[in-house]
Amino acid sequence: GLKVAIKEKYPGTQDMQIEPIGFGLSSLKVAIVIPDGDGGAAEEAEKILASIKGVESAEIVSLTLT
């Protein structure tokens, strides 16, 4: 399903958790690894995730440097 499509489209995927929102909708929280110093990579990840069939929208809610 959707988890497989995300892993295929974005190989840096580390973890995924489904959280119910309400009204039959769910949020899929995805943890990905982006190379440090790769300017614009976070925005590119949002675009990649949003382009997957079944994904209504994608947004970064947390960003941590390693």
Which pLDDT score, from 0 to 100, does residue 38 have? 65
Which pLDDT score, from 0 to 100, does residue 32 have? 83
Which pLDDT score, from 0 to 100, does residue 20 have? 92
**Which residues in the chain come in under a pLDDT of 50?**
none
Flag whether 45 is in a domain: yes
- Number of domains comprising the chain: 1
Which pLDDT score, from 0 to 100, does residue 66 have? 62
Which pLDDT score, from 0 to 100, does residue 23 have? 93
pTM comes to 0.70
Flag whether 65 is in a domain: no
Flag whether 21 is in a domain: yes
Which pLDDT score, from 0 to 100, does residue 3 have? 87
Flag whether 28 is in a domain: yes
47-54 LR contacts (CB < 8 Å, sep 24+): 48/9, 48/10, 49/6, 49/9, 49/10, 51/9, 52/2, 52/5, 52/6, 52/9, 53/5, 54/1, 54/2, 54/5
Determine the structural domain holding residue 42 and report its residue range.
2-50
